[in-house]
Amino acid sequence: MDKKEVKIISQNKKALHDFFVEEKIECGIELAGTEVKSLRQGKVNMKDSFAEVRNGEVFLCGMHISPYEFGNIFNKDPMRDRRLLLHKKEISRLAGTVQQKGLTLVPLDLYFSGSRVKVTLAVAKGKKLYDKRADMAEKDSQREIDRRMKEFNVE
């Protein structure tokens, strides 16, 4: 089996700041041709996007793909909901998981796997303000430790 080339288009860094990731799922996404061309140019914003289960299907909401500049009448609405491609068993399992208190579906990455566009979807739980502060303090202390280690190794 060939190893497909993976090219990351966009990452949702805000999701990792705002949520605890419990599980990750790779899924396809249904796009129009001009949207794919716009993605190849990197014109996408995933900052406030989320996924929801509706009528046995999963939709990605709030993701902005800028209209392709040469697409004229073929361009779609940049903020439209896009269907995610998952197996029926996966969708029913996700729907049951999301019913639990405080869990949501958040996209983490958007990338090309070969010629196809894939999304890494996370089942996540929202962080409280004190959790975010603790994470930032931990990152700051780790950065300071790395800085000190670098000083001792160089001198």
Q: What is the pLDDT of residue 17?
A: 78
- Decide if 132 is inside a domain: no
- Decide if 139 is inside a domain: no
pTM, whole model, 2 decimals?
0.74
DSSP H or E stretch at residue 143 = helix 129-154
Q: How many domains does the chain have?
A: 1
CATH assignment at residue 52: 2.40.280.10
Domain region containing 37? 6-127
Model pLDDT for residues 103-135, shown as the tens digit of each residue: 888 999 999 888 888 999 988 888 788 778 888
Model pLDDT for residues 3-24, shown as the tens digit of each residue: 678 888 888 888 887 888 888 9
Mean predicted confidence (pLDDT) in 39-47: 86
For the chain, give the percent of residues with pLDDT over 70.
96
Model pLDDT for residues 56-100, shown as the tens digit of each residue: 888 989 888 888 887 777 777 778 888 899 999 988 888 888 887
- Decide if 13 is inside a domain: yes
- Decide if 154 is inside a domain: no
Residue 154 has pLDDT above 80, yes or no: no
Cα(121)–Cα(141) distance, rounded to whole angstroms? Answer: 30
- Decide if 146 is inside a domain: no
Q: What is the pLDDT of residue 1?
A: 41
- Decide if 136 is inside a domain: no
Inter-CA distances, 41 with 77, 89, 110, 132, Å: 17, 34, 13, 33
- Decide if 96 is inside a domain: yes
- Decide if 26 is inside a domain: yes
Q: Is 73 left (phi over 0), alpha (psi -120 to 50) or beta?
A: alpha
